[in-house]
Structure 1
Amino acid sequence: MSASIITVISIIAVMGLVGLFFGLVLAIANKKLAVELNPLIHVVEDVLPKGQCGACGFAGCQAYAEAVVSDPDVAPNLCIPGKEAVAKKVSELTGKVAKEVEPKIAYIKCNNPINIAPKKYQYSGIQDCIAMNLLHEGSKSCKYGCVGLGTCVRNCPFNAIEMGENGLPKINKLRCTGCGKCENVCPKNVIELIPVNTKVNVVCNSIERGAKARKDCHIACIGCGICVKTCPHGAVKIVDNLSVMDKHICMEVCSDPVCIDKCPTKTIEYVK
């Protein structure tokens, strides 16, 4: 047997022994340092919806399950998609008291169809809202409007959004859990979480003054204040040239939303 072959065999043998040694060390260390996981964590995780949306403030369902079981300061009602039913189960399992959480759904604050909206340029780049927004704040003349490239659709963990025929997102109210993932990824802040029983809302996101807003979009809120004057309940106010509604006042005391008929640009609508 040549010297070179002997050398190769020796090297292989030494490497094998070294690997075996470190393998044994790691196995012993793993056994000695292993932290026994509370079995209740797995039970709590099993009742969560597994959307991994992060709405609870933790990195996924397992992280929240660990926190709510181990930390007395973590509330049992932080799973927004799970709503009251999951909060009740987590409360029972952890022995904590859950405060009532108002269920919400996503709402698109833009109603200007992509195909007829005035454009600043023709976009042919990456089909992503965030990417388009980096180029002069999107192709729409209204820099506050939805650009229609479906980033919200791709990021919804519950398949509750689809693109409509007008190029704008449509929310499936039966599937939407109000997790807020779409709201967080929208670069235009066009998506708002609203109470599920909201009756009427402003379908506009522009804070431009009247003439400029109307030039950019024929159905934009122009901040005229007619809705403020006609609302008998004081539920509407103008903030930064945009009509803003107190949805709880509308839900609780308004039976005849006259603001819808009085709005000159039909920017206020019934929430379908």
Structure 2
Amino acid sequence: MLYAVLTLGGVGIFFGLLLGLAARFFAVPTDPRIEAVREALPGANCGACVFAGCNQYAEAIVEGRAPLNACIPGGSMAAEAIAAIMGQEVEAVKPMVAAVFCRGDRRLARDLFIYHGVSDCEYAQQYHGGFKACPDGCLGLGNCVRACPFEAIIMGPEGLPLVDGASCTGCGLCIEACPRDIIRLIPQGNRGHLVRCSSRERGKKVSAICEVGCTGCRACVRVCPREAITMEGNLAVIDLEKCDDCGLCLEKCRFNAIEPRRAGAAGRVETEAATA
């Protein structure tokens, strides 16, 4: 018995030493900058930088395969810290926030049929193109809510996602999760007005299915003194760089498709917070 124990112990020690020597002999040197860069990142592993996680992004930076400012959640602070580690200069990251370009909730937009399927926007979209009469309206089944790693989106009581502007980092994962492309990134802040609609239809086709849809009447385009509003197909689009918040478009829009951007109280989740 004693002999067996000693034999097994000796074999264990031998292979332990062998593995230790092999690990030292075959060890791959690691650039200490990789760990330093990783520490400068927020650690969200959200994938907004197009890499699997913060570790992979840090390795890509040190190896020269990625820009220093690709971390959207980390923003300028992370980019500047990484630039200092790498001894390089970097352009400032413009803070962005997600905005939902649809106001057609359960009260204001018509449904084609009652949907009892899986509570998933992708699945609902595949079933006869979705249950909403507007082919470009929010389905309200929460894919964007589930995709957000920062819990910055909740589903409102009337079936529209609400974005907390204070928590949103602009990572863009909600955009990828939306099968109808109604979520976009816009610059942070409260300047300007937004046409909160994504409809590609025009006139009576829009008003027949949604009370707050843009009908493409061009009234806002004609009234804007700054020429900040243009038409993209049948949809009015406002250039936030040109808009000076005069509010004339807001007054002119008969369907309330235009909303001003407002900065809500810190942490408050509301419709306006989606663009704050």
Is the contact between residue 103 and residue 197 of structure 2 (CA under 8 Å) also seen in structure 1?
yes
Q: Shift in Å at residue 163 of structure 1?
A: 0.8
Structure 2: runs of 5 or more not aligned: 1-10, 262-271
Q: Deviations over 1:145-173 (max 9, x none)?
A: 11011110111011100011111100001
Is the contact between residue 108 and residue 210 of structure 2 (CA under 8 Å) also seen in structure 1?
no
Task: Tell me the equivalent position of 1:177.
Answer: 169
2:77 to 73, 78, 85: 85
Q: Deviations over 1:174-219 (max 9, x none)?
A: 1000010001110011101011124211110100121111112111
Task: Tell me the equivalent position of 1:6.
Answer: none
Does 2:236 correspond to 1:243?
yes
Pair member with larger Rg: 1
- How far apart, CA to CA, are the structure 2 residues paired with 1:136 and 1:206? 18
- How far apart, CA to CA, are the structure 1 residues paired with 2:250 and 2:23? 66
Higher helix share: 1
1:36–1:260 Cα change, 3 Å? same
Count of residues in Structure 1 that have an aligned counterpart in Structure 2: 249
Is the contact between residue 114 and residue 147 of structure 1 (CA under 8 Å) also seen in structure 2?
no
Moved over 3 A (4+): 22-34
1:258 to 245, 248, 255: 248
Q: Shift in Å at residue 68 of structure 1?
A: 1.1
Give the AA of the match of 1:263: C
Task: Tell me the equivalent position of 1:104.
Answer: 96
Q: Shift in Å at residue 35 of structure 1?
A: 1.9
1:230 to 218, 223, 230: 223
Task: Tell me the equivalent position of 2:258.
Answer: 268
TM-score by length of 1: 0.85
Is the contact between residue 153 and residue 161 of structure 1 (CA under 8 Å) also seen in structure 2?
yes
- How far apart, CA to CA, are the structure 1 residues paired with 2:44 and 2:38? 11
Q: Shift in Å at residue 44 of structure 1?
A: 1.2
Cα RMSD, aligned residues only: 2.2
- How far apart, CA to CA, are the structure 2 residues paired with 1:261 and 1:141? 27
- How far apart, CA to CA, are the structure 1 residues paired with 2:83 and 2:133? 49
Give the AA of the match of 1:269: E
Q: Shift in Å at residue 239 of structure 1?
A: 1.0
Give the AA of the match of 1:118: R
Structure 1: runs of 5 or more not aligned: 1-16
Task: Tell me the equivalent position of 1:138.
Answer: 130
Q: Shift in Å at residue 40 of structure 1?
A: 1.7
- How far apart, CA to CA, are the structure 1 residues paired with 2:167 and 2:102? 21
Q: What percentage of residue pairs aligned between the two structures are identical?
A: 41
Give the AA of the match of 1:258: L
Does 2:185 correspond to 1:165?
no
Task: Tell me the equivalent position of 1:49.
Answer: 42
1:123–1:205 Cα change, 3 Å? same
Does 2:51 correspond to 1:58?
yes
Give the AA of the match of 2:49: C
Structure 1 SS opposite 2:241 = helix
- How far apart, CA to CA, are the structure 1 residues paired with 2:99 and 2:143? 15
